[in-house]
Every structure is written in C-alpha cells, then in structure tokens.
Structure 1
Amino acid sequence: MRTPPSATAAASPIAYYDVLSDDGTVLRAWTNDPDGRIDGPTVVLCNGLATTAWSWPALLSSDCEVRVVSWNHRGTGGSERPADPTAVGVDHFVEDALSVMDHFGITKTVLVGWSMGVNTMFELAAAHPERVSGLFAVAGVPGNVFAGLLGPLGIPAPVTRIVAQSWSRSLRRVGPLLSPLTRRLPISEWTIHAISRTGLIGRMADTELAALALAEFLTTPVDWYFHLALRSADHRFASLRRIKVPVQFVGGTFDLLSSSRRMASAAAQLADAEVLELRASHFIPLEQPDRVHRLLVDFVARVNAPAQRP
C-alpha cells in the first residue's frame, strides 16, 4: 500500500504540461507557479535522475520566492520514452531543458541541479552560455559521475567507477524481474524512518513527503532507471574553463553518491565558485529543505544584482 499524499503535496500548486522535445519525445514538464502569483525570479531545475517535484519540499510552498520550472526525465514520471532508446544521455537532457525553457518563454536564467542533473546544467551552460546566468549545484559534479560514489569511504575513484558500472549493468539485466516487486513495496513514513536508521539517508524534514517522493521514484522500472544511469554516466564534461557564470556547490558530508571533495576540486577550476558542505547525505533537498532554499534565494539575488543596478 502506498502512502497518501502529504498535506504539503496536497496543498502544492504544482501544475503539469506536455512539452515536445526536439526529437519528438513528449516530456512532462511542471511548475510551482501556474498562475503567475510568485513575485520573484524564475529558475530551471535539472532534477535528480527519475525524481519528481516531491523531492524539493521548499519549492512546494506558497512563499517559495522563486518560480520553478522543470520536467521529468525521459520514460519517467509521465514523460515518454524516446523512439530511440539510446537517446537518453546528458546531451538529450540538455535539449529537453532547452525545449522546456522555450515552452515557458525563458530566455536566460539560473539553473538548479541535483545529483545527475548537475551534469545536465553544466553541459547546458557550456553549450549555450547565452541561456544561463548562474549554476546552483546540489550534491553533484560535472562529468564522470560514477567516480564520485562512496566518497566518504575513501575508495579510489577508478574502483568505484568499475563497481558502479558492473552493479548498474547487473540491475539493468534483472530489472524486469525486480520492477513488479518494487512497484508493490509498502511505502510509508515508517519506510522512511527505517531507511534513515541504516545511515544511507539522513533525517527527513517531512517524512510524508519523502515517502511520496520514494513511491513516485519506484514507479520507474528498475531496468529503465539503470539504463538511464549508464547512458548519462558515460558523459565526459569537456572543460570547466567554458563556464563563465557564478557557481554555488552544496554538498553533503555523508553523501555516498557524490563526493564533496570532487565538488571542491571542480570549484577550484572555476573563476567564480563557492562550496558549502552541510551535514547531510545525498538527499539534501529533503533533509535540509529550508537551508537549501535560503541558499538558492540568496544565490539568485547575488547573480541578478548587477542587472538591477542603475
């Protein structure tokens, strides 16, 4: 039995739209401000792989201060699978982001990325600098994603990459057998509490909403998720020298999926970048939503400040 929507989700203003990407794939896009009531700047969210709006509690609030536009990845959350099943790499996600921006009439804005979405937003900024004014990166780095796994454990990057690739290929193969089981898992607040006790995730700010986020995530077939992960993890970011806009990295001390050390290394190669490490796991938007939200609002204000001066 799945958990019912939390009070936060039930009261959220999220609205969904069909957006056609360049290759004909229909995407499920969404915004937290369908009626244009938020008196604040717009940001485009490049979300974590196969995650949804429910992974960002602070963005569901009526006093969010920023208008958020995003979409669900190909083959997840109501978005179609592409006609070509290999068309699910970072370059395709960039095209999807541009299609969503065009649909909502966004010419240039701050991009927000979480996890694998950080790859997407960095590649978009490098390929289309005229569309990006700043990058807000949460628990992710550009390129070579698998190398950052198990960072707090001190395992060498080449080893983690090999292990992650092997594990992902195995799960992709057996995914058709696992998916009927994962879809039927009983997800509730107790599930979230139980996972938290393992140390894999931290304490959730809203356990009901976290349960809803997990339930939505598990609707994606296991084989398709790991197909997406393997295709997008193959991406190699060319050079951080191509990034000329301000960047804010937000990492988690206990993040087993994306190393804070690699974020610091990336920041050191950028002209205008800061790194903040929080006592959190990979799921920072769910564990510390208010802190992340305030950091985002402040970052957007800093990025937009020059344009506001007379």
Structure 2
Amino acid sequence: MLKRRRLILTTTLLYTLFILYFMFFAFGRGDSEVDSYTFIFVPDNFFKLPNPLEFLHPTIMDIVSLGNTAAFIPFGILIPLLYPIKFVRFIILFMLSILVLETIQAFTLRGSFDIGDVLKNSSGAVIGFVAYSVSIRMKGTWRSVITMGICIILLLVVSWGIGAGIDKAVAKNPGSFVALNEWENSSGVTSKKIALLPFKIEGQKITPQFNVYDANNKKSETYTYKFGGKDFYFYLNYGIPDQKDLKGSVSVSVDGRQIFLSNFEKDDPLRTPQVFDWYFEQANEITITIEGNEKVWDVGYREMKHFWE
C-alpha cells in the first residue's frame, strides 16, 4: 500500500512539473518582446465545439486549446487517489491554484492571465474527478480503467457541447443595418439628407438606397459621426460618376487614426463602384473625408449585439 502511494505521489509530482514547464517555458515563453502585463477577465469563448475536419490538420493553437482541458484531467484522478477529498473542496483548491499560476504567468511576462484558461483547466480537473468517482464503484481493475476512459470521453463531449451552447448564447452578432444619415460636416453643421438620385459609374446604374455624400461643391468635405465606443461593422460604397473629372479620393479615420484611403486618378483601372467594410471594436468617432468628384453612398453600420439586446 505504501509503495503504491509513493508511486502515485511520484507520478503526481512529475506530471505537475511537466505541466509547469508547459505553462512557463514551452512555446518560446520568455523569449518574446512583450513588456506589458496582460489580464483577460472575460473569456472570448468557454469551449469551442471542435470540428472533426480541423483535427485532420491541427494547428499549434488547436492542440493548445484542447490541451487546456485534457492536460488537467489527470489531476482529477491523481489527487483523490492520494488524498480522499470531497468534490467541493477539491475544485475550490484547484481553481485557487490555477488562479495563482495564471497570475504568476502574467507578472513574469511568460503568458497572460486568462480566465478562459482557468475555466478550461478546472473543467478538465472536474472531468477527471467525476470519471474517477464513477470508476471506483466498478469491480475489477480493468473494468474500472475502461469505465474511467469512457466517462472521460463522454464528459469531454458533453462539456464541449454545453460550452458551444454557452458560446452561441452569449456571443455578439451583427444587428440590423443602420444607415448614417446625419453627419457633422467640417463646418460643424449636421448634414441634411439629399435626394437619392441615380447616377452611373462605368455605365453601371447606381441608385442609392439610404444616403449619398460628396464634397459639397468644395475641394473637400469632412463628415464626422460619434459612436460612443460601440462594436460594429461599418460599410460604405464609393466611386466617381461618369461625365465627371476622374479625380477624387475618400479616406476613413477612426478616433483620429486613418485606416483607409482611396485615390482615383484619370487612368486608374478601378473605375467600377467599390465597397469598403471594416470591423471596429469600441470606436468612438469615425471621420470620412471626400475630395474632388468622389461620391460615397449607402453609409451605415451593423452593431454587434447579444441576443437579448
């Protein structure tokens, strides 16, 4: 009995060192030029339900994601083998340990504190604990081992299924298209909606559905819209109408940083209508600058929302 306990203790210590190595030294940790602490308190996903096709050509991140759960299953088996412990006490102590390790990772710049990893690591330990608790009720060593293996597989599938459901329920999705019809121009005046008259670009008839903007018979015009930190997909169409001097440009800036610029010259081959779309995360202000004979139309956005919003 004592020999068996020593073997389990040695296995636990060696496996713990193995996990610590991967947490603090593997994958080039410590070699990067990161010089700031990273703390992620909101998980980007709980569990991603794996697509079987992804396992045909798995990436390093696929393996890491799966390992965040599977690698901690043995702790749910080894610890109760060493010390009889109730589930609530086990999971509390285990989560506290993972929280400490994640914090050390962040402060030593060998990774980030990621609450998503804490949840996945703890879920792996729970799967191991439950599988062990079920298996010890079986008679015979092989029957217990087989039962434990089946339980682990089933619990992993169930966890992924539940996690995928949670992800889908709390994920943000693009809402309805909202046309931006009231912009503040360079004079500080709110733009007025003008008649949506059709025009042609390269012989293609364009009929704006929501709005249309140009330089207002000036060399250039600037339009600004405040979003107040929203997450959204932004859309606009642009081009120079036929029978106009083929010279103009359109640029888009977010919070003072230019992210898009298109210049049209006379010999530019891209004469057909173009579409610009971009995802903005927590943008406060968008500015569109139109020069020359450029036209911009059907400008709008789709805000990212939860299903209950």
TM-score bin (small chain): under 0.3
Indicate the structure with greater helix content: 1
Greater relative CO (CA pairs within 8 A, separation 6+): 1
Indicate the structure with greater strand content: 2
The TM-score with structure 2 as length reference comes to 0.26
Larger Rg: 1 or 2? 2
